Each structure stands twice: as C-alpha cells, then as structure tokens.
A and B are shown apart, each in its own frame.
Chain A
Amino acid sequence: MGVRVRIPTPLKKLAGEQDIVLADGNSVGEVIQWLTETYPGLKERLRDEQGEVRRFINIYVNDEDIRFIRNLETPVKEGDQISIIPAIAGGSSLRKRVTLTFPPEKIKEPIIYNIGHRFKVVTNIRSANVTENVGWVTLEIDGEEGEYLKAINYLKEIGVKVEPVEKDVIV
C-alpha cells in the first residue's frame, strides 16, 4: 500500500528524518494509527490524552481539509497524499505551494529534478498534467527562504510560469 504522508518539519526527527512517509491504511484514522505504531514518538504529538487528533494540527487529504470531508473516517487509497500541518505557523523553514506551467519546448526537461539538485530545496509533486503540448505541475517546495527564492528565480529565468497556489492558506 502506499499513502504518502507529509510530515511537518518539527516532527521530522520522530519519523526517522523523513519528509514523506509511505503509510498503510484505508482511512485517515487508520493511517494515523499506522504512523503512531510505526513511529511511537509521534503518538503524543499527534493525539491528546483522549486519543483525539490535537486541535492545532490540521490534516489534509490531497489538499482538502479532512474536517470538510469525513474527518478521521475520510477514506484514502493508494496514491493519495495526506499532509499533517500545524495550524499556527511557527517552524523554521518555508513551505510553499506553487503551480508551474511549462512552455512546450521545456516539457521534456527534468526541471523539477534540476531545482532539487541545484538548490537546497525539497520538492514534492502534489498534482500534475503533462502531455505533448502542455504541462503543469503543482509543487510543494520546502527550504530556507534564500534557497526557495533562488529556485523560483531559476524557474522564471528558463521560461516557466510560476504562480502561488491560493488554497493553501494556513495561518
């Protein structure tokens, strides 16, 4: 099975230093269960004494807040992505979501690999559509501000259109 779970920076070291964990489960609740059994250190950070998910942790399935779906009963399937995100910003690095639109002549180039290679940023594809003539990717970019800006400038220089993704409003 493979549900991708995005671990927030402050919890990374409790999940074996991984940004993304491949987890098992058919619902968000089952995935959280799997996570806290696999990485016991996460348990008290994600759940309170009553076993509820902590109030200031938001969980998203493919960009949708689970409170808008079916909470912990929200079903997930292989290939879905779960993001665990602190409700109040307070970490030390930036995480931004942008949509990249590639000009036709750049579609075949490994641009996303390149930015991860050239700059100290971690990239994570959230959704994409690439055909012969058109290509766009919604990408999460994680890193220090300077590196993030360098990566964005590089993308713009080579002719990629970069737009912020509005939906990801987390305050």
Chain B
Amino acid sequence: MNYVKGLKCRECKREYPIKPIHVCEFCFGPLEVNYDHEKIKGNLTREKIEGRPKTMWRYRELLPLDGEPTVGRNVGFTPLVRADRLAKVFGVKDLYLKNDSVNHPTLSFKDRVVSVAVSKAKEFGFKVVSCASTGNLANSVAALAAEGELESFIFVPHDLEQGKILGTLIYGTNLIGVKGSYDEVNRLCSEVAENYRWAFVNINLRPFYAEGSKTFGFEIAEQMGWKVPQHVVVPMAGGALITKIWKGFKELEEIGLLDDVQTRIHGAQASGSNPIISAFKEGIDWIKPQKPKTIAKSLAIGNPADGFYALKTIRESGGSAEDVSDEEIIEGMKLLARTEGIFTETAGGVTVGVAKKLIDKGIIPRDESILLSITGNGLKTQEAIQDKVGHPLIIEAKFSEFEKIVTPQQKRFEEVPLQAAI
C-alpha cells in the first residue's frame, strides 16, 4: 500500500529517506514527498476510489503513510454544493462551494493535514506533537493528539479569538499563548523544534502534513464528476493549501484519473496581510515580509512559508490574486450566510470577497465554472462580526408586544424577496 519513494528537495531535487526532516541539507530548500506515480497509475482507478468509505483516506495511495491512519479516520469528504443564490448575486452561471467549514472533527480544512501529520508522528514513534498556529491548526492538533493518545504543546498568538482558544483547551492540551505575531510564534517554534525531539506538524513534519491538503483538491475533482472547475479561489495564509490543491489536480492528471487540467487558481488574502498578493501584483517572485493587521486572524501570516510556491502556482495556472478590506470580509461572510446558509469564518469572507472582486473586474469570466474554497467555520470567529449582524428584538411575553414590532410587510406572510434579505 505504500507508494512513497522518499523525500525530495523542491529546489535542487536531491533525495532523502523518509525521516522527520523538512529542509534540504544541500541548498536549504524545502523537502516534499516523492511518490512512485507510475506504480500508482497501474493500481488506482476511479472505481476503486468510489467504492471506498467517504473520507479523505479513499485517496490513501497518494498520501504518505506506511500503514492505515491511526487518527482522524473520518476526516474529509465534505459537501461540494452548487451555489445558485450566490451565483445570482455575483451574476455568474456556474458557482460551487467546497465546504470544509463542516469538516470533521474540528470544523476546518486543517483536520486533513493534521490527521496525516499525527498519524505519521505515531509511525515515527514521537510521543509529543506540537505546532505553531493561528487557531484552526491548534484546534485540530489538540483534538487529534487526544485521539492518538499523544501529549501536545500548542503555540498560538496570545490574542486569538476566544472560540479558538476554548476549542483548543477542551482537548486537554498544553496551550502556550505567545506575546507576538504568528510569525514570531513560528520562529519560536523553530527554535523549540531544534532543541526538543517533538513532532512539530508544520515544521519537521511539514512535508507529510502538507500532503493532506491535496485531498481538498482530489475531492473537488471527484465530486464534480471527475472534472475540475475552470476557476478555483483559495484563501492564502502560509500558502500551502493553494499549492497542494494544484498539485492534487496535477497528480490526478498524471495518474490518468483526470484529463487536461485547465483550472486557473486564484489566491485570496486580506488587505491587512497580503504579502503574496503584493508580490503577485509587483511581478516579483519573492515575498516581502509584513506585519499583519486584519480581522482574518487565521490568515495573518506576514512571512508565508510556501509564499514562493503559492505565487508559482497562481502564475503557472494562469490565475490571479486579490485582497479585500476588513469591511469586505464581513460583507462576504454575511453574503455567504444569507444566500447559501453557510456560516464561514473570516477566511471564508476573504474568499467570497475576492471572488466578487475578480468577477467584477472581468478577470473571472461570468460564464465559466467557479469554485470557492470555504475552509473554516464562523462559530470560531464570532468576535469579528460582533455588532455587525444586528441584535435580537427583545419583547415582553405578550402577543400585543409582538404585534408592535412586526412590520406590515411581514404581517402579510409573504416571502421576503432575496434581495431585501441581503
């Protein structure tokens, strides 16, 4: 069942055996898992995949575990929905959402990467798993470490949203709130990783961890009937997801499960944390680190680890990149909730807002198929919309009181037109 040849440097292509390492000793480039695609091609068919349980593990030949997963066995295969009401507002024909805001168990796409990383950590024999996180990763590592009976140490910026703090602590982890930005947390973790033999899912296990993101792309392709949309809009923080969705499509093409991938991949960031967008717009291929300031805290990474490759993905696929303000993010969250009934976190607001911008600018043609990547759940970032969505109307428990507040239009029991509800 194992089709992994080893690790390979993404830059100089030097090969390494499977170990918990992430940097090439020779050129300092990042390492990536290297598969025997020829062998997979002969062994994996659409029918074989379709006959398996509806989880991300139905693509296990393209994931870097030696054995069966030991945690997160039910992760993935989240709904892919047609979004006709949102399409109407955007003025487009063919719009889809891949909805990881209901991913199992911690309501974000991070469960995909963490279930691979923690299962791999157990294969390596680690006793402690750890991570630097903007919140979603923290929730997922804490939950899956609990499931895997491992100790966990989780490092986050100390000023995270309450939902993400509580949603981590409940699992009985060691949560460290670091006084600093995510980039400072990450740097601290790199130092800790050098001095402790722990499995840092997004540092020394990064090559394995990142592979989990490919399943987001695999599922899109399978759920659309083994084809891919013409446009995919992806929120970017560290830049790994966008890179791996593209890699996922390309891999399916390589092993013969998809023909002719022509998708244009578009990157989305918040204006207050847009190092990848800035580089794209300036036409350079390196990232100027920033100090992020945005309500989209899950995307607030000023020095993205995979920024270079995210840029490369956008350019290679013929895609584009945009950013949106905090107000536009909130509008995006409200719009998605009020058209499609999906409450996404701030990152989802970024994706919706950026998609709208790219459509309005004519960069995404209105008659082509578009997929928006919804990666996290709105219940985790409630602070962001506090006072932005109105208040309940408080009344005495009397019918006459209710009569006072109901409008004549509401009295007629007519359907409220969609436009009015937005």
Contacts and interface: CB of A to CB of B under 8 A. Distances in A.
Interface string B265-291: 000000000000000000000101100
Interface string B22-39: 111111111000000000
Contacts of B29: 54-56
B191 interface: yes
A55 B30 CA distance: 10
Interface residue range, chain A: 20 to 34
B308 interface: yes
A55 B11 CA distance: 8
A171 B190 contact: yes
Nearest to B9: A56
B187 A10 contact: no
A93 to B, nearest CB: 8
Contacts of A67: 286, 288
Interface stretch (A17-25, A82-90, A119-127, A128-136): A82-90
Contacts of B386: none
Nearest to B196: A145
Q: State the main secondary structure of chain A at its contact with B.
A: loop
A171 B25 contact: no
Contacts of A68: 288
Given A90-B28, A170-B187, A145 B195 contact: yes
Contact of A54 (B11, B21, B194, B308): B11
Nearest to A57: B28
Nearest to B181: A169
B184 interface: yes
Nearest to B26: A45
A86 B11 CA distance: 13
A54 B27 contact: yes
Q: State the main secondary structure of chain B at its contact with A.
A: loop
Interface string A62-89: 0000011000000000000000001111
A89 B26 CA distance: 13
B12 interface: yes
Contact of A171 (B21, B183, B194): B183
B303 interface: yes
B190 A92 contact: no
Contact of A90 (B22, B186, B289, B303): B22
B83 interface: no
Interface centre among B186, B194, B289 (most CB of A within 10 A): B194
A18 B65 CA distance: 41
B305 interface: yes
B292 to A, nearest CB: 12
A57 B11 CA distance: 12
Given A55-B11, A55-B308, A169-B187, A91 B289 contact: no
Contacts of B21: 90
A87 B28 contact: yes
A56 B11 contact: yes
Given A56-B29, A145-B195, A88 B22 contact: yes
A86 B28 contact: yes
B28 to A, nearest CB: 4
B282 to A, nearest CB: 12
A163 interface: no
A57 B308 CA distance: 13
Contacts of A87: 28
A68 B290 CA distance: 13
Nearest to A91: B194
A56 B289 CA distance: 14
Contacts of B11: 48, 54-56
A94 interface: yes
Contact of B28 (A54, A93, A94, A171): A54
B194 A89 contact: yes
A171 B23 contact: no
Contacts of B12: 48, 54
Interface in B175-199: 183-184, 186-187, 190-191, 193-195
Contacts of A56: 11, 24, 27-30
Contacts of A10: 25, 28
Contacts of B289: 169
A134 B274 CA distance: 40
A144 to B, nearest CB: 8
Nearest to A89: B190
Nearest to A88: B23
A131 B20 CA distance: 50
A171 B286 contact: no
17 contacts: A10-B28, A48-B11, A48-B12, A48-B27, A54-B29, A56-B24, A56-B27, A57-B28, A67-B288, A68-B288, A86-B23, A88-B23, A88-B305, A89-B191, A89-B194, A91-B194, A94-B195
Interface of B: 11-12, 21-30, 183-184, 186-187, 190-191, 193-195, 286, 288-289, 303, 305, 308
> Which 3 A-B residue pairs are closest in the complex by CB-CB distance?
A90-B23, A89-B190, A86-B28
